[in-house]
Structure formats: structure tokens, C-alpha cells
Structure 1
């Protein structure tokens, strides 16, 4: 595949200084490989210079998948060129990675995943499968692979991929949304049973089954059985369910702490404290 892009003319491409071996290149005349951002409100930034992802193995895999999905070779090259290149725009501010506040103990909105998250946001539009790659699921996969080359650890990037894949299936509607609802119900049952069984084994919690080890095994099996409801993204379903075993309780605790903080801030405002 060609390395030329729609922003080659007059550009100064250098490796991204945060992760020089990531495949990300930044248009930076200074040669430092810095991505410049300007904060425009409480949550959003405007990126000032262009950047692109140029890892050959990732591009080759993406090209093969597009062609397999029925896209012509020339069209696939143009789609990849557009998908892998970010062009600055004042009209399109970014919040970097959209990490909920109660989950920021797990990951920040910025880090080695920053450029991958910005490109992924560009590929996901209001309508399903209407981005440059014509497939939100493929855009999600591209996001995961960009995080891999950027050095994001295995479990973290797969959990983040699961989160965006969940959104993709929900937006698709129809059977995909229905299968997601069924998966969620089965996963809730499995996770609840797992926690209860583990508590009965370790802490001697009251449990209706005399041998909680069997309900523990059944709970793990149910999580695995539910994963195929995600179709070809079954691994996302498995990772999401397993991750929820420890992410949900910790996230709930962090969310509760956040609510307490907001209540205290409201009290401070009511008292007009300065």
C-alpha cells in the first residue's frame, strides 16, 4: 500500500514523541513530534496539527478486511487514507478519550491511547456505519490495533475496545441490540451468581446452595456461553463480562464518592463559602 496521504503536500511528518514506535506520525515543523492542543471549554480541545497512523501491518490488515467486505481496492485505499489521517478543524473539538468520571481511576482521557481515540471519534458518526471505513465494527477494531502499536497494555486495550464495541452493537439496533440485551441479562445473572458463590466460599455468606463451588462454576460457564451473542465480536462480550466482575463494583464506589462530592459542593455554594 502507498504511504501517500491527502495531507502530504508541505507536511513535515515525524514520529509521535509519546510513542515513537507506534506508527503515529505528526505534522510538526519543529521536528519534535508534538501534538498541539488548545483548550476551548471545560472539556474540549482543538488539535492544531495533523497526524496519521502508518503502521504497515495494521494498514495491510485493514485493507484486506475492507476488500473482503466487498470494497474495491482503489476505494479501500482511499478509505484507509482518510481513516488513518487526522486533519485539524476548529469546528470539531475533541474531549480526547470519552472516559466517564467514575472510571478515571482505571484510565485517563489522555495517554498512549490519545491519538487512537481521536481518530476513532472521527470514524464514528451519528449514523451507523457511515464513517470512512463504512463499518463501525471495523473502526472499533482499528482503534484496538492503534492502541496496540502505541503500547497500551493488552487487557486495558481490550476492555476499551469492548466498551466501544458495545456502543456499536447498540446503535446498530435490530437483532444486534436485542442480542446485547439478552447478553446483558445473562451476564448480570452470571456475575451476581459468581459474586454470591465466591462470598459463600470465602466469607461464608448465606447461600441457597449447599455446594457453592458448583454455582461458581455455572456462573463462569454462563458468562462464556453468553459471549457468542456478540457474533464475530464475541471476544468483546467475554472481556466485558469478565472485566465487569471487578470494574463495576469499583466504578460504583467511585461514582458514590463523586455523588458525595457534588452534594458537599452544593452545600458550599448554599453557604456562599469562598
Structure 2
């Protein structure tokens, strides 16, 4: 069954089950760390298989090999975990998807009861359907599916020719680049640094803001159509990028500042204390300067 963003789908959580039974799936994880004391990566091993009965591909079990399979749970960049956390209702679908996706030179990391072979595109579709069956929010489901579709477009699918892969890549890369550039120009136009964005014009701040938001929807909508069979993913990811561009930049800068502070505090603790003292002193001076006029009055 093809899922549509405009047609409600009744969740069927019973499609997830334990291996060899109809019981709800038991997710048992073992945390695994790699790297040195300063650079550690966190992965998880599944100690128990879970199964999902897909409408098209039948029963799919993950992982194929309990001894070697590792997952990072829901693969989400840190700055986006406020939007899509690593765990939640979407965790079982994420684990299934991790098992369905593997490198071309690797053995499948899933088991198909019906002997079906799934490429990345099929794995993404199963992921989307599975999220709906766990009653993951429709908006979150389509956002996550669009993001992993973008990853699939970048890495390619075994069923694509080189020309097809290149066409999808060019369309996606061009869309992202255009949206980012227009987002920067729209921001500069909003603050009257330039006056180059036609749908914003030389209007009041509020009207330019409304025009900018309209452009953040219409432009990705048109660009998404160039993605061919992945047009819905192009539209959803494009609008999300345009609307969340400034939030993403702000969170990225905050994250970089935090990581820089951690790096200094770990390797140069004395310097970190000195810098912290200077920053605190500077803010105290600013407070005094700002309060002085009020005191004089």
C-alpha cells in the first residue's frame, strides 16, 4: 500500500512483533563504546531480534547476525534532536531501517521470511510505513523519511544506473544550494542590507517577513518537482530547510561555541578559567554601564 501525506493511515502496531511469536517486540540493547578517552563514539548492539510485517515485503527481521550488527538508534544530528529525538515511537522503525540498509559489498543485515531483497529506496518506504504503524506523528514521519531519502539520493541505490544517480544528486544538491542562497539573501533583504528578493520588495518589516515565509514555501515546492519520483521528499525537505534555516544556523553556532568551550576546558583548564573570568567581568561592566543612566535619573 502506498502511503499518502493526504490520506490518514490507521496505525497497526501489531505488525511489530518478537521473532517467532506474535508478542510485542522486546528491544534489548547493549551499549558499545569505541575510541580513546577524548573521542568516543557510542553504538548499540541488539541482543534480541525484532520483526516487522510489511504490507508488501512480508516479515522482515533485524538483525541477521546478533553478534556483529550495531546501530546508532535514530541517526539524527545533535542539533536536530529537539525535533527528532533518538528514541521514541519511531525507534522500532529506525532499528528495522538500520538493518535493511547495508553497503553494497556487505551481506544483508536483515532476514526476509519470504526471501525478498530490498534496496535503499524500498528500505526507506518500509521505514515510513513502519513509523505510521507505531503512530509516529505524520509530520515527523514525513520529515524523517524526507531526510533519509536525501541520504539515499546521495549514496545511491543498487537498482539505479550511474546516470540516474547523477540526475537525482544534481537535483537535490541544486535545490539545497538555491534554498540556502535565497535564505541568506532574504535575510539580508529583511534587514534592508539589500533589496534584491522580488517577493519581499521594499515594504514594511512585517510584510517583508510574510513575503519571505511565502517564498520559503513556494520556492522549495517548485524545486522539489525536479526530484522526479522523490518530489514529495524534495518538497518536504526543502520547505523544512527554508523554514528552519535560521534556527539551524543559530543552533550550529551555539553547538560550535559549546564544543570550543569543552575543548579549551579539557586541554587548557587554566586558560578556560581566565577566559571565563574575562567574560564574566565584561558582562558585569556592561550591566553597570546600562544601569548607570537609570541611577542618574
TM-score by length of 1: 0.70
The alpha carbon displacement at 1:193 in A equals 3.3
Aligned to 1:25: 17
Per-residue Cα deviation, 1:216-246 (whole angstroms, up to 9, x for no partner): 5666444222213322121001101001013
The structure-2 alpha-carbon separation of the partners of 1:256 and 1:88, relative to structure 1 and needing over 3 Å to count, comes to: same
1:45-84 to structure 2, matched below 5 A, reads: 45-54=44-53, 58-59=54-55, 62-63=56-57, 80-81=58-59, 83-84=60-61
CA distance in 2, matches of 1:22, 1:264: 47
The structure-2 alpha-carbon separation of the partners of 1:128 and 1:97, relative to structure 1 and needing over 3 Å to count, comes to: farther
Aligned to 2:237: 240
Aligned to 2:167: 178
The alpha carbon displacement at 1:158 in A equals 0.8
Where 1:52 maps in the other structure, the secondary structure is strand
CA distance in 2, matches of 1:53, 1:264: 44
* Alpha-carbon RMSD: 3.4
TM-score by length of 2: 0.65
CA distance in 2, matches of 1:208, 1:138: 42
The alpha carbon displacement at 1:197 in A equals 4.6
Per-residue Cα deviation, 1:23-78 (whole angstroms, up to 9, x for no partner): 2113599x785421111214111111121113xxx42xx24xxxxxxxxxxxxxxx
The alpha carbon displacement at 1:209 in A equals 5.5
Aligned to 1:264: 261
1:28-177 to structure 2, matched below 5 A, reads: 34-41=26-33, 42-54=41-53, 58-59=54-55, 62-63=56-57, 80-81=58-59, 83-87=60-64, 89-127=66-104, 133-172=117-156, 173-177=162-166
Where 2:67 maps in the other structure, the secondary structure is coil
Contact 1:224–1:238, Cα closer than 8 Å, also in 2: yes
CA distance in 2, matches of 1:251, 1:22: 37
Structure number with bigger Rg: 2
CA distance in 2, matches of 1:130, 1:229: 33
Structure 1 gap ranges (5+): 1-18, 64-79
Structure 2 gap ranges (5+): 1-10, 34-40, 109-115, 157-161, 202-207, 271-297
